[in-house]
Homo-oligomer: A and B are copies of this chain.
Amino acid sequence: VWQCPCGGPFDLTFRPCPPLNLTGRPYTLWRYAEALPVSPEHRVTFDEGFTPLTPALMPAAADRKILLKQDHLFPTGSFKDRGAALLLSHAHELGVRSLLEDSSGNAGAAVAAYAARAGIACDVYVPESASPAKKAQIAAFGATVHAVPGPREAAADAARKAAGNTFFASHVWNPWFIHGTKTAAYEIWEQLGRKAPGTILAPTGNGTLLLGLHLGFRELVAGGLCGRMPVLIAVQTEAASGLARMWAEHLQSPPETPAASTIAEGIAVRRPARAVQIVEAVRSTSGRFLVVGEEDIRPAYHEACQAGWYIEPTSAVALAALPQLTPDLPDPVVIPLTGHGLKYTAD
């Protein structure tokens, strides 16, 4: 069972014991053990996490204190490893022998890598248009790649159809994945001296990053470890800006929009399953949605590379939104770098 009879996604009622004394623990995402809903003996791990939080030192960042969270340095080259580590640990705990997933590429690679580490068979449904490097990476881990013609949603539909017979390791539907991505919040909090940043800009498609950040900081605030929430800003591309319109026009779901191509393929999602949650999360932090055009993303991508940051264009979406930051948004501004530039080089 991966979906509520109401049609919506499940969440966990898990309440973490917040970790107070982190001294002597390894510098991985597992240092927040009390906040992670899997038993230590079932961890599926490459000792990942605690990625650096580093000043951007880029022209576009000159006026503000901008820190980049280097989540492109995870083993498979994207922040999705956070979620996959927790999701596969949970699958391992359940004794799962085979699973499937749908992805535009990064989550598929992450789930395939951790499935390989756990010795669990894996099928991944990707849009036929996903980058060759991403498809090759998933196949290298020994997973079976199903390239589905049509938009991103067609791959999701194909996976859901197949999910009747096997474990659906969906990074969107499975709540353990979000409990993995939330570790970014714990790390940022610790790296800033046990404080939330003023503002976080997150590229947003299915929202697994933004929801993870929201969940993590919410737990830290609820546990008395953090004084306040950061302002969460979700950044979308014009090509897939349904959440931004939902927010601006007070809609109950993303409006129907035609499929449009974008260089930011990681967030080319038109019907995110957790749409209502995402809008609510942004609203609850007094945040907002920002939209950038293709013509903004390319220069931001090149500027990042020429400052030494080798990222995939999806990561540049948040950088492209920097000129839209108003003075009321507090510093420091944290921008997670979601995927490695090498993922894009192949195209």
Q: Is A77 an interface residue (CB 8 A)?
A: yes
A residues contacting the other copy or chain, number (CB 8 A): 41
**B137 and A345: CB pair below 8 A?**
yes
**Cβ 8 A contact of A27, one of B27, B48, B307:** B27
**B141 and A306: CB pair below 8 A?**
yes
Q: Looking at A50, A75, A117, A137, which has the most chain B CB atoms within 10 Å of its CB?
A: A75
User: 1/0 contact trace for A40-78 toward B, CB 8 Å?
Assistant: 000001111010111001000000000000100111110
> With contacts A52-B47, A345-B133 known, is A141 near B305, CB below 8 A?
yes
Q: Is A310 an interface residue (CB 8 A)?
A: yes
Q: How far, in whole Å, are A294 and B57 apart by their CA atoms in the complex?
A: 43
Q: Which residue of B lies closest to A347 (CB)?
A: B346
| Min CB gap A58→B, angstroms | 10
Q: Is A108 an interface residue (CB 8 A)?
A: no
Q: Looking at A73, A113, A117, A302, which has the most chain B CB atoms within 10 Å of its CB?
A: A73
Q: How far, in whole Å, are A114 and B113 apart by their CA atoms in the complex?
A: 29
**What residues on B are CB-neighbors of A54 within 8 Å?**
45-47
**A133 and B346: CB pair below 8 A?**
yes
Q: Is A140 an interface residue (CB 8 A)?
A: yes
| Min CB gap A183→B, angstroms | 15
**B48 and A52: CB pair below 8 A?**
yes
**A340 and B77: CB pair below 8 A?**
yes
Q: Is A28 an interface residue (CB 8 A)?
A: yes
User: 1/0 contact trace for A308-335 toward B, CB 8 Å?
Assistant: 1110000000000000000000000000
| Min CB gap A180→B, angstroms | 16
Q: Is A38 an interface residue (CB 8 A)?
A: no
| Min CB gap A62→B, angstroms | 13
Q: Is A341 an interface residue (CB 8 A)?
A: yes
**B50 and A70: CB pair below 8 A?**
no
> With contacts A52-B47, A73-B73 known, is A305 near B140, CB below 8 A?
yes
Q: Which residue of B lies closest to A116 (CB)?
A: B308
**What residues on B are CB-neighbors of A140 within 8 Å?**
302, 305-306, 310, 341, 345
**What residues on B are CB-neighbors of A132 within 8 Å?**
345
**Cβ 8 A contact of A136, one of B50, B340, B345:** B345
Ordered by A's residue number, 17 sampled pairs between the chains whose C-beta atoms are within 8 Å are A45-B54, A46-B52, A46-B308, A47-B52, A48-B52, A73-B74, A73-B75, A75-B309, A77-B340, A113-B308, A113-B310, A117-B308, A137-B345, A141-B308, A342-B342, A345-B346, A346-B346
A-B contacts besides A28-B52, A137-B342, 20 pairs, CB < 8 Å: A46-B308, A47-B54, A73-B75, A75-B310, A76-B310, A77-B310, A77-B342, A113-B310, A116-B306, A116-B307, A117-B307, A117-B308, A133-B345, A133-B346, A137-B345, A140-B305, A140-B310, A141-B306, A142-B305, A340-B342
* A contact set with B: CB distance below 8 Å: 27-28, 45-48, 50, 52-54, 57, 70, 73-77, 113-114, 116-117, 132-133, 136-137, 140-142, 302, 305-310, 340-343, 345-346
